[in-house]
Structure 1
């Protein structure tokens, strides 16, 4: 399993929470040294000057650079002139299976944004929804925060993203590779726990922490995706496809498929055939 596939599995199960967002000019006494926040931050500078230290690296941000200051990393900041930052900023959390994303992956501390007007618009929309009293506003603010994180990723070289716990990454890579290679068989938790050298009960907790869902749910989702491919691209009967994927009970397979897609296998095949023709 390559780096990008494992990264995709983490990000597809990302859960975010927005704590605070604002657009303002920093005060002349804007300064804090060597503190470790229990939230993550984005800084998006409109104008002005200032200094940041993230871990052991120092920066002087300029407009067009989106800065990420991860939870759990020692940081400092300060004004450096009589022209302090005018900036958008937000505090948030990003978790996979209840674990802080930035304990799993190490990201560059900033990226240069190709289309800064899009980031301005996203921040303005986060602000709008964060200040709204509508019942749906918090959900919209979170969706815009997810969009901001997506823009951050889109402007990175993915090779710059590294794993903080290499043994865990290698173990997860081996497990997910095994699932992909044996998706047409009956894969059990015991099989996967053996690969990870773990007791099955501990393995289930470990997998859910890393991926965000239990292993059986993950395997089922993979089987349904494979069934969708086979229904779209082969003339095989639904019974043949179900058996090929290890489902001996056609009714159970159809019910599971509909639970995941909203359509029965027959309905799905009709829809995709219509799209192709």
Structure 2
């Protein structure tokens, strides 16, 4: 059974994006990755090797390599690849690592919908240079939604990206107080309607939605960066360490001082 696009909620953290025309000797050496790697092939020929399986790629290929995979790649010297490459981390609505229901290699048929999709990707490339990362992130999420629909992985239901835009805005302003009115203004909707959207798509009010993002980001920093509880409270927008500890324990069921011990 296919999933509806409105049921797919994720927050991308982009770490690398490039529009590359490969030189004849271009290669990616074998390495294990801890991020999501997406490649859209525009022209040329080459091959990607994922977990020792070879995937020949040509115009229209979409390569998705999930975290934990071993990857390597090379281009044809006679017909070098032209591609978009994107590396990112993905998080779900609870700000936990997320995955996408995609195969390693897909072939996008060249019809008007795909032409539109490729134009959207080109627009994203411009957005990352010319506008805020929040707008670029929203554009990227729409691109992935269209990819999943075009591949038949999900059913298109006109998913509204405004909750994702709100989440992106919160993460960008995580160190300070943020009101529903401010987020609504940034997203372009009334705060009351924003609250309805967050309840519909995440099961949480705007206030709870913001708190969950703060706490989950703080948890990750405590566990993986080894920062102190006081630093986490300050970095993720809590008024003081006592308030942070109280909210964190209520949300997670354990105090922030034990996060690293419990989760590593």
Alignment partner of 2:35 out of 25, 36, 39 = 39
Q: Structure 1 residues 138 and 79, CA, compared in 2 at 3 Å: closer, same or farther?
A: same
Q: Which residue of 1 aligns with 2:103?
A: 108
Task: Render the CA deviation track for 1:224-265: whole Å, top value 9, x for unaligned.
Answer: xxxxxxxxxxxxxxxxxxxxxxxxxxxxxxxxxxxxxxxxxx
- Give the Cα separation in 2 of the matches to 1:18 and 1:139: 11
Q: Which has the larger radius of gyration?
A: 1
Shift in Å, 1:106: 5.0
Unaligned runs of 5+ in 2: 155-197, 207-264
| Aligned length, in residue pairs | 157
Aligned structure 1 segments of 4 or more residues deviating by more than 3 angstroms = 2-5
Task: Render the CA deviation track for 1:203-231: whole Å, top value 9, x for unaligned.
Answer: xxxxxxxxxx99xx73889xxxxxxxxxx
Alignment partner of 1:95 out of 91, 95, 112 = 91
Does residue 141 in structure 1 map to residue 136 in structure 2? Answer: yes
Q: Structure 1 residues 147 and 106, CA, compared in 2 at 3 Å: closer, same or farther?
A: closer
Task: Render the CA deviation track for 1:157-203: whole Å, top value 9, x for unaligned.
Answer: 439xxxxxxxxxxxxxxxxxxxxxxxxxxxxxxxxxxxxxxxxxxxx
Q: Which residue of 1 aligns with 2:212?
A: none
Q: Which residue of 1 aligns with 2:66?
A: 70
**Superposition pairs for residues 99-178 of structure 1, below 5 Å?**
99-102=96-99, 107-113=102-108, 114=111, 115-132=113-130, 134=131, 137-158=132-153
Task: Render the CA deviation track for 1:24-54: whole Å, top value 9, x for unaligned.
Answer: 2112332234312222122111211111012
Q: Which residue of 1 aligns with 2:3?
A: 4
Normalised by the size of structure 2, how large is the TM-score?
0.51
Does residue 17 in structure 1 map to residue 13 in structure 2? Answer: yes
Shift in Å, 1:89: 1.9
Q: Which residue of 2 aligns with 1:234?
A: none
Q: Contact conserved, 1:18 with 1:145, CA < 8 A, in 2?
A: no
Task: Render the CA deviation track for 1:42-77: whole Å, top value 9, x for unaligned.
Answer: 211121111101234321112122222222211110
Q: Which residue of 2 aligns with 1:53?
A: 49
Shift in Å, 1:84: 1.4
Normalised by the size of structure 1, how large is the TM-score?
0.49
Report the structure, 1 or 2, having the larger helix content: 1
- Give the Cα separation in 1 of the matches to 2:71 and 2:38: 13
- Give the Cα separation in 1 of the matches to 2:103 and 2:150: 11
Task: Render the CA deviation track for 1:56-115: whole Å, top value 9, x for unaligned.
Answer: 43211121222222222111101232321011222222111333223xx65212333343
